[in-house]
Homo-oligomer: A and B are copies of this chain.
Amino acid sequence: MTALDHHAAAPARLPLSVTELDLINAWWRAANYLSVGQIYLLDNPLLREPLTLDHVKPRLLGHWGTTPGLNLIYAHLNRVVTARDLNAIYVTGPGHGGPGLVANAYLDGTYSEVYPHIGQDTDGLRRLFRQFSFPGGIPSHVAPETPGSINEGGELGYALMHAYGAAFDNPDLLVACVIGDGEAETGPMAASWHSNKFLDPIADGAVLPILHLNGYKIANPTILARIPREELNSLLEGYGHRPYYVEGDDPESVHQQFAAVLDDVVTEIARIQNDARTGDVTDRPRWPMIVLRTPKGWTGPREVDGLQTEGTWRSHQVPLSGIRENPEHLRQLEQWLRSYRPDELFDEQGRLRPELAALAPAGVRRMSANPVANRGLLLESLHLPDFRNYAVPVDQPGTVLSEATRVLGEFLRDIIRDNPHNFRLMGPDETASNRLGAVFEGTDRVWQGQILPTDEHLGRSGRVMEVLSEHLCQGWLEGYLLTGRHGMFSCYEAFIHIIDSMVNQHAKWLKVTGEIPWRRPIASLNYLLTSHVWRQDHNGFSHQDPGFIDHLVNKKAGVIRIYLPPDANTLLSVADHCLQSRDYINLIVAGKQPALSYLSMDDAVLHCTRGLGIWEWAGNETEAHAGGALAESASGLPDVVMACAGDVPTLETLAAVDLLRQHLPQLKVRVVNVVDLMRLQPDTEHPHGLSDAQFDAIFTPSQPVVFAFHGYPTLIHRLTYRRRNHSNIHVRGFKEEGTTTTPFDVVMLNDLDRFHLVMDVIDQVPALGAGAAPLRQRMSDERLRARAYTRAHGEDDPAISGWTWPHGGA
């Protein structure tokens, strides 16, 4: 297509002997044969009889185009893994080429070990073929079901970040990562290339990117295949790599080129690591990478119905379709399958011939059997200091200010100290902004770029990873967790939506792996969302969005946990719990601004363990003078339940309760705080859900509930719509009103403020009657006064912002 330039390795060297070449080509043929077989065949797996329609699947589902390339790379990696006893895994970006990965795992024996019913014989081959993309069988993409995989191939763009995540803190690991030229167009992949600025050649392993230019996506050419070689080379060098090129459509030549290049790059990687580890070189290395340009659907049908197919987008999925209607296609399919000469590859019993089987590395050196990719096998629990040691003293609730995330930062600092090799903290340049700065007392931000004397807390190694890409933070952390380590991702709440689609895929992965016995649990993916919607008053509307909670709630209940700790001590307790958990996605939303603490550590632990509870010290149900004044009180139930979830809603609720207790002392108020949002759901919907009886005991079966919620109000309705009392639940939350203003103005814009909550109570408790009207008017006036104050002074009235709880505890 374009002339080879000086980087192209014309096969000047012939590293493979004739025998080696024949063998490696035979492995490749076998993998290709098994791939085509999986897409097409129900039966007659070794073509021992002429192919008939009965042998062909009725629905042909799968992706052939990328597969021969994936198979070629696998075969060659096997060679170097064996020759050099490498510890390697294989991450495939174009993982819709699922049949290829299954084929290789079958050829090296792992597949039959993991799935004993798929044996190494003709019957096993029949089952292997039949199950692929078949009802009751396996998915068409590389998936959790595929041994050796840590990257679902469905949604493109995340392979390279997963590869880096796997390599961090695995100094002996080589992660070969195939990047499709289609997925190379995605934003997340485009950002991933710079991951090499965060890889420490001493303490981390190596990532070998292999850009596979087969030229086409579903129906279009790819950008990187259609720019001049020189431009591509500039791009890859600009990413910080030294590219090696392998190009062609003649198998023999490509085998020799690829073998030579792979020898070179593996040697170069070893040299880089040795230089760094012996202290000879401290500059960021220029890591090698490979560009492999081969035809899409290589070795498949050259032409179908008179149209070129091999080497074009037409071979993306199933190049020969309509087999049933078209005898010529059936003939072509048989010819294609027989072109791999299966009789030379498998013996009479359908077993891979021993000289080919011998090409596979042994035991856990097989990339499909490497425990790194079977994740939980290597998982060690974190050494967690006692979170109680970091407690904020709380003698009287609601009187002491603390910054919750700053307190958490001290806990994280010591977790990092005690777990120097298997915990990382990710964030898009917000660790300090999110007030987790204490971590820098014990570690640095990892940074392989230039370091200047004025820089602070940058180092060649470190536990904190900061890059202005939520995608990279997420992808690195996923790769790190999937290979058996721990971590946390701290992010501005609004911008975590950037990775909505990535978390979808991770949630699906967790859901499916939970159903696969040989997949072991991994550490949970922990989000700390701070700089949240209610305290983005300074950045304005673009930074105000609490919808990630809603996004997660749609995922399978078994993998989702959502926590809204109201203060510093509850945050500590929740964080400790999340860091010990497995196979969940834990979402913690917590503030970073100075805010009141309500619970002593003992109370916080109890409250978090329950997940939600009545704050008796805040309500007045038990007070002698309460009750009796209103008709409802006769029942022994409170007149109103003031519920809250989230730190700012808790503050406004308590301030509202204070007003109610001052001005309507006859009103019997119950205060309920929710930490674990999933408690609101029925126990039939979520493992954390309350039974209806428990729910009624807390929220009452009949009384008005004024619920101040951190997020969009409808979520509370969604979680509670089956509860008996649901029609009495009146929710305030974010209703998409915001701008740059003061904190209290933001809550007022959304009617979540203390004054409005009091108005809501008056509206929801009709028994208060006309006597409450003056108070309602006064609250309305207070809102106007508060707004006028901010507009005159540019800050909130200190009487509001400085409010503390005046009623004591217990």
Contacts and interface: CB of A to CB of B under 8 A. Distances in A.
A547 B188 CA distance: 21
Nearest to A746: B135
A629 to B, nearest CB: 30
A190 interface: yes
A155 interface: yes
Contact of A135 (B236, B495, B712, B745): B745
Interface string A181-210: 011011111111110010000000000000
A219 B468 contact: no
A508 B217 contact: no
B59 A742 contact: yes
A386 interface: no
Given A240-B231, A714-B718, A794-B135, A187 B432 contact: no
Interface string A449-471: 11110110010000000111111
Contact of A235 (B143, B238, B554): B238
A294 interface: no
A227 B196 CA distance: 11
A450 B237 contact: no
A232 interface: yes
A420 interface: no
A550 interface: yes
Interface in A745-784: 745
Contact of A218 (B429, B447, B739, B787): B429
A449 B227 contact: yes
A183 B468 CA distance: 7
B556 A156 contact: no
A37 to B, nearest CB: 15
A545 B135 contact: no
A542 interface: yes
B794 A541 contact: no
A331 interface: no
Nearest to A734: B554
Interface string A547-569: 10011011110000000000000
A710 to B, nearest CB: 13
A187 B220 CA distance: 22
Q: Which of A134, A542, A745 has the most CB of B within 10 A?
A: A542
Interface stretch (A79-87, A367-375, A497-505): A497-505
Interface string A677-697: 000000000000000000000
A234 interface: yes
Interface string A127-141: 000000111111111
A134 B794 contact: yes
A57 B451 CA distance: 36
Nearest to A190: B190
B219 A182 contact: no
B504 A547 contact: yes
A431 interface: yes
A346 interface: no
A432 to B, nearest CB: 4
Contacts of A137: 740
Contact of A504 (B308, B508, B545, B717): B545
A570 interface: no
Contacts of A470: 186
What is the count of identical protomers in the complex?
A: 2
Contacts of A221: 447, 449-450, 452, 455, 458
A139 B540 contact: yes
Contacts of A449: 221, 223, 226-227
A577 interface: no
Interface residues of A, number: 121
A152 interface: yes
A381 interface: no
A190 B190 CA distance: 5
Nearest to A130: B794
Contacts of A717: 718, 721
Contacts of A141: 539-540, 542, 740
Interface string A146-178: 000000111111000000000000000000000
A140 B430 contact: no
A445 interface: yes
Contacts of A450: 1, 221, 226-227
Contacts of A500: 497-498, 500-501, 551
Interface string A370-404: 00000000000000000000000000000000000
A589 to B, nearest CB: 16
A219 B794 contact: no
B541 A227 contact: no
A194 to B, nearest CB: 5
A61 interface: yes
Contacts of A188: 187
Q: Which of A445, A718, A795 has the most CB of B within 10 A?
A: A718
A726 interface: yes
Contacts of A625: none
B538 A140 contact: yes
Contacts of A218: 429-430, 432-433
A791 interface: yes
A634 interface: no
A141 to B, nearest CB: 6
A441 interface: no
B187 A471 contact: yes
A497 B501 contact: yes
Contact of A741 (B136, B217, B505): B136
Interface string A512-543: 10000000000000000000000000111111
A747 to B, nearest CB: 13
A615 interface: no
A6 interface: no
Nearest to A183: B468
Contact of A154 (B235, B539, B795): B539
A240 B230 CA distance: 10
A671 interface: no
B432 A219 contact: yes
B217 A194 contact: no
17 contacts: A1-B450, A42-B794, A133-B538, A141-B539, A152-B542, A185-B467, A185-B468, A185-B472, A187-B189, A218-B430, A219-B466, A220-B466, A226-B447, A231-B237, A494-B501, A498-B501, A553-B714
Given A1-B450, A59-B794, A221-B447, 10 more contacts: A135-B741, A155-B543, A197-B227, A220-B466, A226-B450, A312-B454, A547-B554, A551-B551, A717-B721, A721-B726
Interface of A: 1, 42, 57-59, 61, 96, 133-141, 143, 152-157, 182-183, 185-194, 197, 217-223, 226-227, 231-240, 308, 312, 429-433, 445, 447, 449-452, 454-455, 458, 466-472, 494-495, 497-498, 500-501, 504-505, 508, 511-512, 538-543, 545, 547, 550-551, 553-556, 712, 714, 717-718, 721, 726, 736, 739-742, 745, 787, 790-791, 793-795
Query: Which 10 A-B pairs have CB atoms at the shortest separation, nearest pair first?
Result: A235-B238, A154-B542, A187-B187, A226-B449, A190-B190, A234-B238, A497-B501, A187-B191, A185-B468, A139-B540
